[in-house]
Amino acid sequence: MKAESKLRCLASLFFTCLICLVLSSASLHAADADSAPVTPKLFDSEETLKVTITAPWQELERNKSYQGPYPATIEYEDHTGKHLTHDLTVERRGVKRQEACRIPPIKLRFEKEEIKDTVFHGQTSLKMVTHCQNSDRYDQYYLLEMMAYRMYNQVTKYSFRVRSLSVSYKDSKNGSVDADRFAFLIEDDSDVAKRNGLKKLEIPRIRPSRLESETASDLALFQYMIGNTDWAALSGPDPEECCHNVKLIAPRPLKDGDKIWPVPYDFDSAGIVNAPYALPAEGLGIHSVLQRLYRGYCAHNETLPAARQKLLAQQAAMMGVLDSDERLVQRSRNKAAKYLEKYFKIIGDDRDFEKSVVKMCRI
| Percent of the chain whose pLDDT exceeds 70 | 90
Confidence of residue 40 (pLDDT cuts 50, 70, 90): confident
pLDDT at residue number 310: 98
The sheet that has 246-250: what strands, in order across it?
199-201, 246-250, 261-264
Q: What is the pLDDT of residue 255?
A: 94
Dihedral Cα 74, 80, 82, 83, nearest 10 deg: 20
> Span 32-55, mean pLDDT?
83
Q: What is the 3-state secondary structure (H, E, C) of 82-128?
A: CEEEEEEEEEECCCHHHHHCCECCEEEECCHHHHCCCCCCCCCEEEE
Q: Which residue has the higher pLDDT, 129 or 8?
A: 129
The band of 20, judged by pLDDT with boundaries at 50, 70 and 90, is very low
**Crossing angle of helices 213-226 and 137-155, rounded to 10°:** 150
Please tell me whether the overall predicted TM-score, pTM, comes out greater than 0.95 for this model: no
pLDDT digits (tens, 9 = 90+) for 57-84: 999 999 999 999 999 999 999 999 999 9
**What pLDDT was estimated at residue 37?**
57
* Per-residue pLDDT at 271 exceeds 80: yes
pLDDT digits (tens, 9 = 90+) for 312-346: 999 999 999 999 999 999 999 999 999 999 999 99
The answer, yes or no, to whether residue 32 has pLDDT greater than 50, is no
Q: What is the mean pLDDT of residues 202-208?
A: 95
pLDDT at 349: 98
- Radius of gyration of the chain, Cα coordinates, nearest whole angstrom: 26
Mean pLDDT of 287-311: 98
Give 2's contacts (C-beta < 8 A, 6+ positions apart): none
Mean pLDDT of 120-130: 97
Per-residue pLDDT, 38: 75
Q: Round the average pLDDT of the chain to a whole number and report it.
A: 92
Q: For 174-199, what is the mean pLDDT?
A: 97
Residue 30 pLDDT: 46
Q: What is the pLDDT averaged over residues 191-204? A: 96
Confidence (pLDDT) at 22 = 44
